Chain A
Amino acid sequence: MGAFRVVLTLAPVALDPVGRAAPSYAFEDGITLILLLAATCFVVGLHLMNAPPTADHGNRLSAAGMVVAVAATLALIAHDGTISTTGWLMLSLGGVIGSGFGLYLARTVEMTAMPQLVSLFNAVGGGAAALVAIADFVRLAGIAHAPTIAARTSVTSVLDVVIGAVTLSGSIVAAGKLQGFIPSNPVVVPAGRFVNLVLVLAACAGTGYILSGANSDLTLIGIALASLVIGVILVMPIGGADMPVVISLLNAFTGTAVAMAGFVINSLVLIIAGALVGASGSILTKLMADAMNRSILNIVAGGFGTGDQKSVIGAGATGQVRSVGADDVAIQLAYAQKVIIVPGYGLAAAHAQYAVKELADLLEKRGVEVSYAIHPVAGRMPGHMNVLLAEAEVPYQQLRTMEEINPEFPRADVALVIGANDVTNPAARRPGNPVSGMPILDVDKAKSVIVIKRSMGHGYAGIDNELYTDPKTAMFFADAQAGLRAIIAAVKTLVGVD
């Protein structure tokens, strides 16, 4: 255990003239083991999330681990005795205010707003991690005649502050875009890249100054401020459709920042938890980027609809579109054997999840086999569409991934596309256009296709969807919610299901 002994003491003890009581190793070892137990709960909790039936046990286990970690840490600082009354007051006051606010948000948030909330939690997590390093650095720098802060502390402090601050401001901008406070289309910051370059260089210079042995807390705070601006400039030019990638990436950043905070204060549980979140965020970022066939760099640099690709919008091929009404759609659906519903974000935006579920129930009563084809980037964060449909009580067994459902399209009598656009465009199979190479749902292989859509408007890629002009496609021009209600009514009257 020798190597772990210092795991929870703050910074190298030699630097700490605050008169810490002679450490009782048995007690601290015990606390360290308890924190290891908490970390184990986090890992096993995540492991249990590999199947829907056990997932909530996983989350509870993880929460239990968190309670254990918090209790053990409270015991440690009480035992340590260095905390002042004001310190306790600040902790409990801050904890209560933060928890209350978090609880309120978590209880009241709508599932469509989940990406904003996750962004917000990313922001505060990253912010807290940065504050831990700043506070530790300020404390060390404030000690008169102290020797130079060890390189391991200063390097990890700078990393923590940079990543944490970028996450804080970047996630707030992302949440603002998702919520609509900030325009969700790409906003080009004037000379953004130049400003960012200058800020990055300034931050590097500050880092060099700190590493040269200057215990300058003001420099660290300067680096934090520069990083906050960098975060804003990074996320502003990224469009709404790229949000799944951005949120995942910021999630990975938060995890890394927390791990760095663990290095700074020598806390095992922070390092493990941070690394787990970093891994999770990285995997999701990669999955999302692959699902759009774009590199992460390309997305962060600003992509779809930022200018050049707009020119691709050709003369609309609206001439050959076949438009149908609710009655036609109802008949076609009611007499089908197999229907695959393809939901996109437009469905969620119209709050039509419940209407879809109602229609699906109606069809199932008639013996129609209904399943849902979920593209990985349907929605505004990874897996968002699944949650939205689960909220409407669609059984998760009917939610099929792209890989599972694509071979089934040729057997489907009707593919019903609601609010999805670019992810169904067969043009993606050909090179030479903005969606080329993007994995798509093979909707065009179904025997017939019905698209519910308000107009012939373009998706985020800004190009015509060739699916709409396919001879076997029928377009039902309506708002998702109103259109589905009309179809439900038509099925009931025409086919006579009550």
Chain B
Amino acid sequence: MDTSLITDVTIFVLSLLVGFEVISKVPQTLHTPLMSAANSIHGVVIVGAFLIASTAHSTVGYTLAFIAAVFAGMNVVGGYTVTDRMLKMFQRRPAAASKDANADGGRP
């Protein structure tokens, strides 16, 4: 086993642990946006699409890079946009707990 593999595995395991730690604190209310945000983060695979495009020199290579770019682009842009849309809904009327504020339509 080469050291770079060991390093990679170490990073993977530590990142998993960080992920468990950070994500277990997210409240149930935000689970859908959380999953959507995580979805956007795995859109970082677009970096992979770039790298395969950079070494492609055949029709097959170009086709694969093209499809990967379509997939990853959709993932990144769509993911962040829809997460933002959802989270804005949780921003409305941040202190609306009081009934008085509700009564006279304290809407933004």
Contact = CB atoms under 8 A, between A and B. Distances in A.
A383 B30 contact: yes
Contacts of A390: 29, 86, 89-90, 92
Given A43-B22, A46-B37, A270-B44, A109 B82 contact: yes
A59 B84 contact: yes
Interface string B1-38: 11111011001110111111011111111111111111
Interface in B31-86: 31-58, 60-86
B71 A131 contact: yes
A35 to B, nearest CB: 8
B76 A102 contact: yes
B25 to A, nearest CB: 4
A395 B94 CA distance: 8
A99 B74 contact: yes
Interface residues of A, number: 128
A239 to B, nearest CB: 20
Contacts of B30: 49-50, 52, 55, 383, 386
A246 to B, nearest CB: 12
A84 B57 CA distance: 7
B74 A101 contact: yes
Nearest to A51: B27
Contact of A103 (B8, B66, B81, B94): B81
B67 to A, nearest CB: 6
A97 B70 contact: yes
A287 to B, nearest CB: 8
B76 A387 contact: no
A90 interface: yes
Nearest to A98: B73
Given A125-B72, A131-B71, A383-B34, A261 B48 contact: yes
A265, A271, A273: most-surrounded residue (chain B CB, <10 A): A273
Contact of A383 (B12, B33, B52): B33
A69 B44 contact: yes
A114 interface: yes
Given A43-B18, A138-B60, A387-B89, A3 B75 contact: no
B2 A63 contact: no
Contacts of A386: 28-32
Interface of A is mostly: helix
Given A58-B37, A382-B35, A391-B89, A258 B44 contact: yes
Contacts of A124: 70-72, 74-75
Interface string A348-392: 000000000000010011010000001010010111101100110
A64 to B, nearest CB: 10
B38 A280 contact: yes
Contacts of B84: 56, 59-60, 63
B56 A279 contact: no
A56 B77 CA distance: 16
Contact of B45 (A74, A258, A282): A258
Nearest to A376: B28
A455 interface: no
Contact of A55 (B33, B75, B78, B97): B33
Interface stretch (A115-123, A203-211, A324-332, A423-431): A115-123
A135 B68 contact: yes
A262 interface: yes
Interface of B: 1-5, 7-8, 11-13, 15-20, 22-58, 60-94, 96-97, 99, 102-103, 107
Given A93-B69, A114-B32, 8 more contacts: A50-B25, A98-B77, A106-B78, A132-B49, A263-B8, A382-B34, A383-B33, A401-B29
